[in-house]
Chain A
Amino acid sequence: MTDQPQPLHMDFHLLDRQIVDRAGLMVGNVDDIELDVGDDGVPYVVALLSGQEALGLRMGGRIGSLLARVARRLRQADEPPLRIPYDMVARVGTDVVLSVHRELLPEPGLERWLRENLIGHIPGARDEGQ
């Protein structure tokens, strides 16, 4: 069972909150939420959506759709935006903590592209705790 505030207010406790993995590394923000309605008619959270595309679509308007369009350009066609099943959420506190390491999740396209084409080529990019 997930450790979370009772009752959980989606807009107050979940949306826009930082997601970290079990080691404390940052995964992204909760940019949108996927809901479903159970047999008892009560809606429940199925998954957290993260990434600029999800954010842009949620924000809407001119700026939102621009953000979503740019984000869609930046990812490869075959990789979907980051979707984290709610089963992976271990705890909802001042941040949303996952029960897995972030390596298990698809990596955001922009992060990978910048690492492979720019940051990773600079000497010292691997040194931790700098």
Chain B
Amino acid sequence: MKKLLAVTLGILTAIGGFVDIGDLVANSEAGARFGMRLAWVVLVGVVGICVYAEMCGRVAAFSGRAVFDLVRERLGPRIALLNLAGSYLVTLLTLCAEIGGVALAVELASGIGYLWWVPLVALAVWWVLWRVRFETMERIFGLLGLALVVFVVTFLQLGPDWAATRAELTAGPPPGESWATYGFFAVALFAAAMTPYEVFFFSSGGVEEKWTRQDLVTERLNVFAGFPLGGLLSLAIMGSAALVYLPQGATVDSLGQTALPVALALGKVGLIVVILGFFAATFGAALETGLSAGYTVAQYFGWQWGKLVAPRQAARFHTVMIVSILIGVAGLLTKADPVQITEYSLVFSALALPLTYLPILIVANDRDYLGEHVNGRFANALGLIYLVLIIIAAVAAVPLMVITGVGQ
């Protein structure tokens, strides 16, 4: 019974934890402009994160080490330093976007401009990282993030024309959109599903929760049930935006517009629930990116990291997190639009994807760490297919950004 509860809780946490500011922005923008024509990218992305998160979980369970802790051992300090620089900068940009997302959610609830909330939000994020137990933190924000299920209700309530939706699934760009913008949003959605911090956090979190081989079944259930259900939320966000905005030819460029379909379908109660969902999803992701910033740096240098020891025993790790949050705040206080920061964070995530996922594939094939539990043929075949997709997305990201003027 207790085990069942743990599994359920893990799955629920994964559903709520999958969606962050990148998914909120990219899915509603893509829905408004392309209907469900890009839904396949979300499916492809969800399978990809499942394949690689499973590898990370296995490495953590059998070696007791986080994947990125092992990168330096296998790639050497020079290449690993390059990897660290890329991973850290992308995680920092994502952290900045998530803090902005939380502040925007509070603005929606309070009517007071988001800039005023940025310092408070940052302080709250730091406080949780400083004080709250790892599992408690994960569960509270994961479960509250489930409020985003309201998008599924919204989609059904708005009464989709199923035949038209089905026709969209396999269609190219609609009139008025080019293949370039179609490609740009495909890359952004793919990056939103496979954002690098998700695997940094997942593998280090496994070590923090002291996974052993007995936890492997639970961990796989969480991955293979939680992430796809989280992907379903992403599709519901896309679908709701499609039903409201596509017929009008309107575009989405603020978090308020992402929430509007819910308000139209479900009124005030729906709006309250969706704002709560935004808050939880972005706050949870801010915690995960903040931790990931600390994890990547501390693991490269071999410093003590993690929330299991007192902060004074991991002073360098906590300092990296504090400094990262402060840089994120400074970025937001330049009055750069958080939605635009999110768009850029997705482009640069796409660019950094090979740096993140190639090492996972290498380590998951290393008998020195995993013994007989290295990747089988199936995992390797999928891993390689995804590596090709990841490289295509990385190569295409910047040219598509330039050609389309960030998807305009």
Contacts and interface: CB of A to CB of B under 8 A. Distances in A.
Given A110-B316, A119-B312, A119-B315, A18 B132 contact: no
B116 interface: no
A58 B77 contact: yes
B166 interface: no
Given A26-B304, A114-B315, A130 B77 contact: no
Nearest to A52: B301
A28 B132 contact: no
Interface string A42-82: 00000000101001001101010000000000000000000
Contacts of A112: 315
Given A18-B65, A55-B77, A118-B319, A130 B130 contact: yes
B169 interface: no
Given A111-B303, A111-B315, A114-B315, A129 B308 contact: yes
Given A25-B304, A26-B305, A94-B65, A130 B315 contact: no
Contact of B319 (A58, A119, A129): A119
Interface residues of A, number: 39
B310 interface: yes
Contact of B311 (A17, A55, A108, A125): A125
B131 interface: yes
Contacts of A111: 303-304, 315-316
Contacts of A55: 77, 301
Contacts of B80: 16
A100 to B, nearest CB: 16
A19 B312 CA distance: 19
A123 to B, nearest CB: 9
A18 B131 CA distance: 26
Most chain A CB within 10 A, of B132, B313, B315, is at: B315
B307 A130 contact: yes
B177 interface: no
Main secondary structure of the interface of A (DSSP, over half): mixed
Contacts of B81: 59, 63
B369 interface: yes
B312 A28 contact: no
B318 interface: yes
Given A115-B312, A119-B318, A124 B302 contact: no
Contact of A50 (B65, B302, B305, B369): B302
Contacts of A28: 301-303
Interface string A88-122: 00000011000000000000101110110011101
Contacts of A31: 77, 302
Interface string B60-81: 0001110001001100111011
A70 B297 CA distance: 16
Contact of A130 (B64, B133, B316): B133
A16 B300 CA distance: 9
Contacts of B69: 18
A120 B315 contact: yes
A12 B75 CA distance: 11
B67 to A, nearest CB: 12
Could you say which of A16, A19, A28, A126 has the most chain B C-beta atoms within 10 Å of its C-beta?
Answer: A16
B309 interface: yes
Residue of A26, A28, A129 with most chain B CB atoms under a 10 A cut-off: A26
B302 A25 contact: no
Contacts of B322: 118
A31 B318 CA distance: 22
A103 to B, nearest CB: 11
A94 B284 CA distance: 31
A128 interface: yes
A75 to B, nearest CB: 14
Contacts of B305: 26
Interface of B: 63-65, 69, 72-73, 76-78, 80-81, 130-134, 301-305, 307-313, 315-316, 318-319, 322, 368-369
Given A16-B72, A59-B81, 16 more contacts: A18-B69, A25-B309, A26-B303, A31-B77, A94-B63, A94-B368, A108-B316, A110-B316, A114-B315, A118-B315, A119-B315, A120-B312, A122-B130, A124-B130, A127-B311, A128-B310
Interface of A: 12-13, 15-19, 25-29, 31, 50, 52, 55, 58-59, 61, 63, 94-95, 108, 110-112, 114-115, 118-120, 122, 124-130
Q: Which 8 A-B pairs have the closest CB atoms?
A: A29-B302, A115-B315, A114-B315, A119-B315, A26-B304, A94-B63, A125-B312, A28-B302
25 contacts: A16-B73, A17-B73, A18-B69, A25-B304, A25-B309, A25-B313, A28-B301, A29-B72, A29-B301, A31-B302, A59-B81, A61-B78, A94-B369, A111-B304, A114-B315, A118-B319, A119-B311, A122-B130, A124-B130, A127-B311, A128-B308, A128-B309, A130-B132, A130-B307, A130-B310
